[in-house]
């Protein structure tokens, strides 16, 4: 496991981008901090971006909200998923984490829109604090930096939806 977040990009991006954050409300002391850190970092490194935040009850609801946003007419160029699962005495947390991970990866591959996965599975509140509120391992800032990297990469490759030309070809009905 990484012990530090990637460095902040050297240059502030001038790109206009629509970024969605889907975050769970459950464990709000931690998830609120993830959202705040991610949005603060995004505003610093992507000052021309628009950021929207959708809050869902828990981590399990993140994939369905993400799917709705990724399939919307005005889909984001990147989606950031933020949540926190604290492992308990049963396997429920592991099952939820596995389901969320698989679903988010499938959405990214199906839509060709980057999904930054920071739905964290931790053992206790000490680990949660270090990753959500602390400064050294802050996964909210890391998510923002990863989003920046993917926006730059997809833009350089001409893969952003904004760069895709809409087909003007019409198809005859019942021809």
**Active site members:** 92
Tokens 């993917």: give the residue. 150
The CB density around residue 126, as the number of other CB atoms within 10 Å, is 10
Give backbone dihedrals phi and psi of 51, rounded to 5 degrees, phi first.
Answer: -120, 125
Give backbone dihedrals phi and psi of 133, rounded to 5 degrees, phi first.
Answer: -115, -35
The CB density around residue 167, as the number of other CB atoms within 10 Å, is 7
Both tokens of 124, joined, read 């206790």
């Amino acid at each position: 496991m990484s012990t530090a977040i990637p460095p902040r990009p050297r240059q502030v991006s001038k790109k206009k981008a629509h970024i969605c954050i889907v975050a769970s409300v459950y464990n709000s002391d931690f998830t609120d901090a993830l959202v705040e850190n991610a949005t603060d970092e995004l505003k610093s490194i992507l000052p021309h971006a628009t950021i929207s935040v959708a809050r869902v009850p828990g981590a399990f609801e993140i994939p369905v909200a993400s799917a709705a946003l990724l399939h919307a007419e005005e889909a984001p160029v990147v989606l950031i998923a933020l949540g926190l699962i604290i492992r308990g005495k049963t396997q429920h947390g592991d099952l939820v984490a596995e389901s969320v991970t698989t679903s988010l990866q499938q959405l990214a591959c199906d839509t060709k829109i980057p999904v930054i996965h920071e739905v964290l599975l931790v053992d206790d509140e000490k680990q949660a604090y270090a990753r959500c509120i602390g400064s050294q391992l802050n996964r909210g800032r890391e998510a923002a930096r990863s989003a920046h990297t993917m926006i730059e990469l997809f833009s350089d490759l001409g893969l952003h939806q904004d760069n895709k030309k809409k087909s003007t070809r019409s198809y005859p009905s019942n021809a």
